[in-house]
Amino acid sequence: MLAAARGLATVIFLCDHESSYVRGVAAEVGALATACDITGLSDDEILALADCAELDGIITFSERQIMRTARLAARRGLAFHDPDTARAVTDKLVQRRRLAEAGVQNTRCRLVREPAGLGAALDEVGLPAILKPRCGAGSARTCRVDTRGEAVARLREFGDGEFIVEQVLAGEPTIAGADWADYVSVESVTSHGRIEHIEITGKFPLAEPLRETGYVVPSTLGEAAREAVRDVTTRALRALGVTHGATHTEVKLGADEPTIIEVNGRVGGYVADLIRTARGFDLIRAALLAALGRGGGAPEGGYRRHAFQLFLTPPMAAVSLRGLDGTEELLARRGIHAVEVFKRPGDRIDWRDGTLAYVGIVHGAGADHHDVRRLAELSLRTLNITYELAKSP
């Protein structure tokens, strides 16, 4: 982010140490830029900090901080989602209602707080259904359920909190192609109501029960499909009141028309690096420009290469990592740029944590989509990943 901000603004980080991630990187962040500890502070107390006296813009890349950022932006008249829009892009129930009211899409969706309420919700939504947190990110505690018994069991596993059950959106696999998932994401930046769709990101096939396994830029979509995806995304963003800021919109590729899976009010995880590698465009800088009330523009020209990220997704039965070998051998292969490793032997793994359960990410680029698939398959063959598995009951 600091590199993206060069020549635009002086960056001040507002750090809430209630997050374990923030605690882990606080020293590094403080060594690079001004960092303010806002742990436990009210909005008034944050804005009263000396370093916040003359803010020209504000942005967050964290799902959990969108609502607070919206409140702070509104208080200072800064370019960000207004609080009403922020709620619509973080509360999945509110979002479904807004999209339906605007005539964009009517998806059956009901709120559940405990297993006792599942029966009535499933009567209205139908089976199969998607079960996920009302507010959440990174595919955590998210799955498809095919029976009432499975729905009850999963909800009990997921623990306390508010969840939604919604209808399964039908996908058409031939649109993206047999080797790819039947959905994409649209990376957009909006400034003063002008929407720029920066990229359509393709996806590797999902892992059970509903986990992402990788991204590719460009996607495999033809121009007609791309235009339909951009159109439904535009209508969704307008329905939710997006006038400033970055969004990451997941879209199902249906046989008749694309449909909205969900709109997220921030830059999507991992996608900025892909776009930079594939076409030299800085999505983070574009988002920062929007936060300063300036349009960031759209990429010019075509793609330099086909960039991909392969997520090292553990099986559902994995409870810990036993070992990971082969990274040096893989890095020696042409087309493989980096192998990020997030877990060490002995680290706990729980598929319910979504993206936080990934063992790592393989970054690379190929000449075309066929080359990307070859490199992904090579990666999985070369890496030797072993897990401790849960014992069968």
Q: For the domain that residue 179 is a member of, what is the CATH number?
A: 3.30.470.20
* Same domain as 335, residue 382: yes
Asked if 126 and 76 sit in the same domain, the reply is no
- pLDDT value of residue 393: 66
Token code pair at residue 309: 């990220």
pLDDT in tens, 220-232: 999 999 999 999 9
Contact 335, 370 (CB under 8 A): no
Domains in the chain, number: 4
Q: What average pLDDT does this structure show over 387-391?
A: 95
Look at strands 12-15 and 34-37 and give their pairing. Answer: parallel
User: Would the pLDDT of 16 be above 80?
Assistant: yes
What is the CATH classification number for the domain harbouring 316?
Answer: 3.90.1170.50
What local confidence, expressed as pLDDT, does residue 1 receive? 87
Query: Domain of 320?
Result: 305-393
Residue 355 lies in a domain: yes
Residue 294 pLDDT: 93
pLDDT more than 90, % of the chain:
97
Is 103 among the domain residues? no
Instruction: Give the per-residue pLDDT at 390.
Output: 95
Q: What values do phi and psi take at 366, rounded to 5?
A: -130, 180
248, two tokens? 């990451």
Residue 15 has pLDDT above 90, yes or no: yes
Residues 267, 197 within the same domain: yes
What pLDDT score was predicted for residue 77?
98
pLDDT higher than threshold 90 for residue 296? no
CA 266 to CA 241: how far, in whole Å? 14
The side-by-side arrangement of strands in the sheet containing 129-133 is 109-112, 163-167, 129-133, 143-145
Domain membership flag for residue 94: no
Question: Do 299 and 313 lie in a common domain?
Answer: no
Instruction: Evaluate whether residue 226 is within a structural domain.
Output: yes
pLDDT in tens, 200-258: 999 999 999 999 999 999 999 999 999 999 999 999 999 999 999 999 999 999 999 99
Q: Are residues 224 and 174 in the same domain?
A: yes
Same domain, 50 and 117: no
pLDDT at 349: 98
Nearest to 287 by CA among 260, 263, 265, 303: 265
Other CB atoms within a 10 A radius of the CB of residue 59 amount to 24
Give me the pLDDT at residue 18, please: 93
Give the C-alpha separation, 391 to 386, whole Å.
15
Average pLDDT (299-328) is 97
Same domain, yes or no: 64 and 19: yes
Pair (355, 291) in one structural domain:
no
388 Cβ contact partners less than 8 Å away, ≥ 6 residues apart: 318, 319, 320, 321, 322
The CATH number for 132's domain is 3.30.1490.20
Average pLDDT value for residue range 296-303: 87
